[in-house]
Amino acid sequence: MEVALTGTAPLADVLTVHGGTPLHGSIRVRGAKNLVSKAMVAALLGDGPSTLYDVPNIRDVEVVRGLLELHGVRVTDGAADGELVLDPGNAESANVDQINVHAGSSRIPILFCGPLLHRLGHAFIPDLGGCHIGPRPIDFHMQALREFGAIVDKTPGGLHLTAPNGLHGTKFKLPYPSVGATEQVLLTAVRAEGVTELRNAAVEPEIIDLICVLQKMGAIIKVHTDRVIEVEGVPRLGGYTHRPIPDRIEAASWAAAALATGGDVSVRGARQADMMTFLNVYRSVGGAFAIDDSSEGGIRFWHPGGELRATALETDVHPGFMTDWQQPLVVALTQARGLSIVHETVYEQRLGYTEALNKMGATIQVYRECLGGTPCRFGRRNFRHSAVIAGPSKLHAADLVIPDLRAGFSHLIAALAAEGTSRVYGVNLINRGYEDFESKLSALGAHVER
C-alpha cells in the first residue's frame, strides 16, 4: 500500500527507518496481550480484588482499563513495575455515552457480556474495533450467550443484553474453535447455574492461562481431550493473583525481525513450550535458536549465515502455526531461496499487506485457492488467502501505511531489512500490541526516528 504523500498523517505518527542494519541485542517480552486483557475482564467476576503482574504498557490494556473504570472497577498500579490491582467491589452500570467513547477501539469489550450480566443483570457493549483482517463476525458469541439464557438486543450504537431468568449452563458446539467465543463461554459459564459443556473449543495457551486465572478465583473447569471443556458453575468467585504467560506473538515477531535483517536477538521472557510450532518452522527455514533456561528464561534467535530455505506452511488453531506469526515470518521468507507457500486458514483477508512487500521488491503472488494440504473454509469463497513467495529478493525502501497491528510490525521488519530510508505511516497502531517498540528497536541497534 503506498501513501499519498500529500496526505495529512500527523508527523508524530510517522517513523523514519534507515534500513539495512542487522538487529543485535536483547529485549524482554511481558505478559501476553491476548491473555492480560481477558484476565482483566475476569476480575469483574470476583468478590474481591485481583492482582495481575507483568502487564505490558500497550493501548489494548488502556482500553480495557478504561472500560473497567467506567463500570466502577478501581484499577490501580501496584508496587512492582507492570503490577495492576483490579477491585470490582463497587462495580456498577456505566453511562452508555461514556462507553461509546471506547467504541471501535478494541475487540475485548465483547467479553464483558457474561461478567456484566452476572454482576449487574444487564450489559451494553459498544461497536467493536480491532484489526481489519476480515469480517470478524460475533455470531458464535451471540449464539452461545443466547444458549445461556441471555436476550440480545442489537441497536445502532451497540448491543444491549439482559438475562431476566438468570444464566444457566448449557451444551454448545462451536462451528469453529474460535478463541474469543471460547473465552466468552468460559467467562459466562463459571458463574452460570449448572454445568456447561463446550465442544470444539479453542485450546490456545492464552485460553489455558485464562482457565488458570478462573480456577484461582474458585471456578471448576475441566479440559478434556478433543477440544471439550466442561465448566461446573459456582455462585461466587474470589479475586486472583496471577503472572501471565509471556507474549508469544511479540516474541515471534522479534525472532522474524532477527532473521529478516540477518541479526541476532535474545527475547528475554519468551517460553519454548508456547512456541514449539514456530520454532520448528524457524529451524526448517534455516534460522537458529537457543533456549535460555535461567530463571528469567528466554530464547535467542539468530541468522546463522548462508541462505535461508523456502518452506510450505498453513496457519491453524493451536497447536498449529498461529495466524499472528504469519505476517512477520513472511518478511523473512522473502529472503529464502525458492518458492515458499503460505495457506492462511484462520482469517480470510490476512494477506493484503503483501502488496506493500511487493512494492519493496518482494515477489509474492496471492491466490484464492487453498494451496495447502487441507482445504479450508475460505477455498470456495473467493478470498485471496494463499500466497506464494519467490526468493530471495532484495528489498528496497518505500513509504508504507500500516494497515493493522501484525501487518504493521511486518512493514517495520521489511523497512529494517531494506536498503535505504523508508517512512512508515500510522506506527501508533503498533502500540496496541507491542510495548515500547521504538525503545526496543533502538536497543537492538536499529536506526529509526519519529
Residues belonging to the active site: 131
DSSP one-letter string for 317-374: STTSB-HHHHHHHHHHHTTEEEEEEEE--S-TT--TTHHHHHHTT-EEEEESS--SSS
Counts for the chain of helices (H) and strands (E), in that order: 13, 24
Applying the rule CB under 6 A, the residues between 140 and 169 that interact with ligand EPZ are 140-141
Its sign, for the CA torsion 89, 435, 343, 255, is: negative
Dist. CA 232–CA 46, nearest whole Å: 16
Binding status of residue 178 toward ligand EPZ by CB under 6 A: yes
Applying the rule CB under 6 A, the residues between 243 and 262 that interact with ligand EPZ are 249
Binding status of residue 420 toward ligand EPZ by CB under 6 A: no
Report the relative pairing of strands 220-223 and 14-18 from DSSP bridges: unpaired
- CA-nearest of 410, 37, 430, 70 to 256 is 410
Nearer to ligand EPZ, 40 or 395 (CB): 40
C-alpha cell recorded at residue 279: 520454532
The interface mask with ligand EPZ, positions 311-340, x = CB under 6 A, is: -----------xxx----------------
Binder among 138, 190, 275, 415 for ligand EPZ (CB under 6 A):
138
Dist. CA 345–CA 334, nearest whole Å: 20
Residues that contact ligand EPZ, how many (by CB under 6 A): 26
Q: Which stretch in 139-147, 152-160, 334-342, 418-426 sits in contact with ligand EPZ by CB under 6 A? A: 139-147
Dist. CA 58–CA 165, nearest whole Å: 38
Binding status of residue 433 toward ligand EPZ by CB under 6 A: yes
Q: Indicate the residue whose CB is closest to ligand EPZ.
A: 180
Binding status of residue 134 toward ligand EPZ by CB under 6 A: yes
Is residue 449 within a helix (H) or strand (E), and if so which, with residue range? Answer: strand 447-449
Binding status of residue 395 toward ligand EPZ by CB under 6 A: no
Residue 367 pairs in a beta bridge with 386
Nearer to ligand EPZ, 59 or 118 (CB): 59
C-alpha cell recorded at residue 308: 535461508
Applying the rule CB under 6 A, the residues between 21 and 40 that interact with ligand EPZ are 33-34
Binding status of residue 192 toward ligand EPZ by CB under 6 A: no
Shortest distance, position 139 Cβ to ligand EPZ, whole Å: 5
Binding status of residue 354 toward ligand EPZ by CB under 6 A: no
The interface mask with ligand EPZ, positions 204-233, x = CB under 6 A, is: ------------------------------
Applying the rule CB under 6 A, the residues between 398 and 417 that interact with ligand EPZ are 405-406
Q: How many CA atoms lie within 13 Å of 401's alpha carbon, on the beta-carbon side?
A: 11
Binder among 171, 173, 176, 450 for ligand EPZ (CB under 6 A):
176
Dist. CA 221–CA 211, nearest whole Å: 7
Q: Which stretch in 148-156, 179-187, 219-227, 287-295 sits in contact with ligand EPZ by CB under 6 A? A: 179-187
DSSP one-letter string for 362-420: -EEEEESS--SSS--TTTTTT---EEEEEE----B--EEE--SHHHHHHHHHHHHHSBS
Nearer to ligand EPZ, 183 or 399 (CB): 183
Binding status of residue 131 toward ligand EPZ by CB under 6 A: yes
| CB contact at 8 A, 288 and 256 | no
Nearer to ligand EPZ, 60 or 197 (CB): 60
| CB contact at 8 A, 315 and 281 | no
Nearer to ligand EPZ, 28 or 141 (CB): 141
Nearer to ligand EPZ, 315 or 335 (CB): 315
Cβ contacts of 294 within 8 Å, gap of 6 or more: none
- CA-nearest of 262, 245, 268, 273 to 38 is 245
Q: Which stretch in 94-102, 132-140, 275-283, 288-296 sits in contact with ligand EPZ by CB under 6 A? A: 132-140
Nearer to ligand EPZ, 370 or 397 (CB): 370
Binding site for ligand EPZ (CB under 6 A): 33-34, 107, 131, 134, 136-141, 176, 178-181, 202, 249, 322-324, 346-347, 405-406, 433
